Amino acid sequence: MSIGIGIIGCGMIANFHARAIADAKGAHLVGVAARRPDAAAEFAAQHNVKAFESIESMLADPSIQVISVCTPSGAHLDPAVAAARAGKHVVVEKPLEVTTERCDEIIQACDEAGVRLAVTFQSRFHESSQLMKTAVEQGRFGKITMGDAYVKWYRSQEYYDSGAWRGTWKLDGGGALMNQAIHSVDLLLWLMGDVAEISAMTATMTHERIEVEDVAVATLRFKNGALGVIEATTTAYPGSLKRIEISGSHGTAILEEEDIKQWEFAEETADDEQVRQTMAGKTKTGGGAGDPKAIGHHGHSLLFEEVVASINEDRPSILDGHEGRRSVEVIRAIYDSAATGKTIKLG
């Protein structure tokens, strides 16, 4: 039986969720609810679904089993908790929330209600990301010594001016790190494991009327002993595809959006040359580097299929709240280090 999904919020990312749900096996979009009824009606007409007059009426609808939260980042808590308490499974657009304390409130509400929680880190589902993860798990890098993430993107002043919530601590939760680079932070943690300590600097260099950083650099020591760097900016015109680099005593791999740019190991396998050839041209969009709308929704579709599977199989999602919380914890530690000038120890 197809699982009905309702979307709360109807901004830019909600359109990607709607398209992804339409393509996801085992799911269908029922309707949308938003703070502005006129915006909800326009969105509903565009996607040929129902516009609910309120969030409460959506949560009362028995044809909806899952709620997808697409409100601004710092406004995820209330609709996510309300959905959980209404017995709905919950999908939250990244980040889960803008502080670990608010993340924990969502996680607790879903646990208490016995509903599934998933966070939209769709980059994990890309074939290239999966290949990187498998290589790590198989020990092909030998002793991993470095893990780095680079997100050198561009956002215009008009982008920040287009929404009152953008560039604010309360609702955006941060700048280039919390909004743009968080997918790469999640991938880095997924591949490298937890972080032991962080030292960082941030700055606001080219944008006006924002409270948050548009440049950030952090150095990391992972719990496995490896060192790493996170660089994030929205000042790098015209914007480059995000990169993840993993290096070790027996191998190096570089992931650029969905492309694998380097794949070299001391012990070659029969499949390595095919990986180098077939994974070199996978990226079909701008990856959001210069235009936030220039992304695909295929990863989101796989995420919704995973949510459906977790419900049908009665198990936690592989992208549950605890996974979603990890990147927020690291980014908040980066902000703490930048503000205090101190090295922040995690865990």
* Secondary structure of 79-143 in HEC code, one letter for each residue: HHHHHHHCCCEEEEECCCCCCHHHHHHHHHHHHHHCCCEEEECHHHHCHHHHHHHHHHHCCCCCC
Task: Please tell me the predicted confidence (pLDDT) of residue 220.
Answer: 98
**Is 320 in contact with 121 (CB distance < 8 Å)?**
no
Which of 12, 8, 38 has its CA nearest to residue 30? 8
Task: Please tell me the predicted confidence (pLDDT) of residue 282.
Answer: 83
Task: Please tell me the predicted confidence (pLDDT) of residue 299.
Answer: 93
- The upper half-sphere exposure of residue 177, i.e. CA atoms within 13 Å in the direction of its Cβ, equals 30
Topology (CATH level 3) of domain 3-122+297-319:
Rossmann fold (3.40.50)
Topology (CATH level 3) of domain 124-291+328-345:
Dihydrodipicolinate Reductase; domain 2 (3.30.360)
Task: Please tell me the predicted confidence (pLDDT) of residue 103.
Answer: 98
Task: Please tell me the predicted confidence (pLDDT) of residue 287.
Answer: 81
**Phi, psi for residue 141 in degrees, rounded to 5:** -80, -5
The ranges assigned to domains in the chain are: 3-122+297-319, 124-291+328-345
Task: Please tell me the predicted confidence (pLDDT) of residue 132.
Answer: 98
For the chain, 347 residues long, give each residue's pLDDT as a single digit of tens.
899 999 999 999 999 999 999 999 999 999 999 999 999 999 999 999 999 999 999 999 999 999 999 999 999 999 999 999 999 999 999 999 999 999 999 999 999 999 999 999 999 999 999 999 999 999 999 999 999 999 999 999 999 999 999 999 999 999 999 999 999 999 999 999 999 999 999 999 999 999 999 999 999 999 999 999 999 999 999 999 999 999 999 999 999 999 999 999 999 999 999 999 999 988 887 788 888 887 889 999 999 999 999 999 999 999 999 999 999 999 999 999 999 999 999 98
Query: What's the CA gap between 125 and 119, in Å, rounded?
Result: 13
The full length of the chain comes to: 347
Task: Please tell me the predicted confidence (pLDDT) of residue 58.
Answer: 97
Task: Please tell me the predicted confidence (pLDDT) of residue 294.
Answer: 77
Residue-wise burial string across 143-158, b where 16 or more C-beta atoms lie within 10 A, e elsewhere: ebbbbbbbbbbbbeee
Task: Please tell me the predicted confidence (pLDDT) of residue 221.
Answer: 98
Chain centre to alpha carbon of residue 79: 18
Task: Please tell me the predicted confidence (pLDDT) of residue 48.
Answer: 97
Task: Please tell me the predicted confidence (pLDDT) of residue 335.
Answer: 98
